[in-house]
């Protein structure tokens, strides 16, 4: 059986303050958005810029740290994996969303009094037997 790879690394700016909530079992989860931008020049020399938005989800202690220390506009490095969720609303419409599930977060830019690197510990359901 071959092995796959799902790893994403981004550097960007928070588009909104993080929002933390708890699952029914009491596990913290924090969501926020990060914008990444790229620029290039076309053949005629015209400059172009494109912004890509990522919905980020952090779990456990990383969720608590993101909620406590991150703010809108702050530059951040996020490493994790992409996950697509599917659901059906009450009218039967199907919805899809793709999120970056964070495993590591590094605050960039402004220095803080605390260590700026945070890595989450994998939960039992996130470990793979290979």
On the question of pLDDT at 114 being above 80, the answer is no
**Residues counted in the chain:** 130
On the question of pLDDT at 121 being above 70, the answer is no
Mean pLDDT of the chain: 88
On the question of pLDDT at 124 being above 50, the answer is no
Phi, psi dihedral angles at 112 (to 5 degrees): -120, 165
Supply the pLDDT for residue 128.
37
More confident residue, 15 or 119: 15
Task: Give the closest residue to 18 by CA, choosing from 117, 105, 86.
Answer: 105
Mean pLDDT confidence for 63-79: 96
Express as a percent the part of the chain with pLDDT over 70.
84
- Cα-based distances in Å from 24 to 27, 29, 44, 125: 7, 11, 56, 17
Mean pLDDT confidence for 104-111: 85
The number of beta carbons lying within 10 Å of the beta carbon of residue 58 is: 29
Angle at 97 between CA 94 and CA 62, to 5 degrees: 140
User: Which pTM does this prediction carry?
Assistant: 0.79
Task: Give the closest residue to 30 by CA, choosing from 39, 38, 22.
Answer: 22
Supply the pLDDT for residue 91.
93
**Alpha-carbon Rg of the chain, whole angstroms?**
17
The class (CATH top level) of 8-39+48-120 is mainly beta
Pairing assessment for the beta strands 47-59 and 75-88 based on DSSP bridges: unpaired
Contacts of 76 (CB under 8 A, 6+ apart): 11, 12, 13, 14, 34, 70, 105, 106, 107, 108
């Amino acid at each position: 059986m071959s092995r796959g790879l799902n790893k994403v690394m981004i550097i960007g700016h928070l588009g909104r303050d993080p929002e933390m909530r708890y699952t029914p079992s009491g596990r913290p989860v924090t969501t926020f958005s990060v914008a990444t931008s790229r620029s290039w020049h076309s053949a005629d020399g015209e400059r172009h810029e494109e912004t890509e938005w990522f919905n980020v989800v952090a779990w456990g202690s990383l969720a608590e740290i993101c909620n406590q220390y991150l703010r809108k506009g702050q530059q951040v490095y996020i490493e994790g994996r992409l996950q697509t969720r599917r659901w059906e609303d009450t009218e039967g419409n199907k919805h899809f969303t793709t999120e970056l599930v964070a495993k590591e977060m590094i605050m960039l830019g402004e220095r803080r009094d605390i260590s700026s690197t945070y890595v989450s510990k994998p939960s039992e359901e996130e470990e793979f037997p290979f």
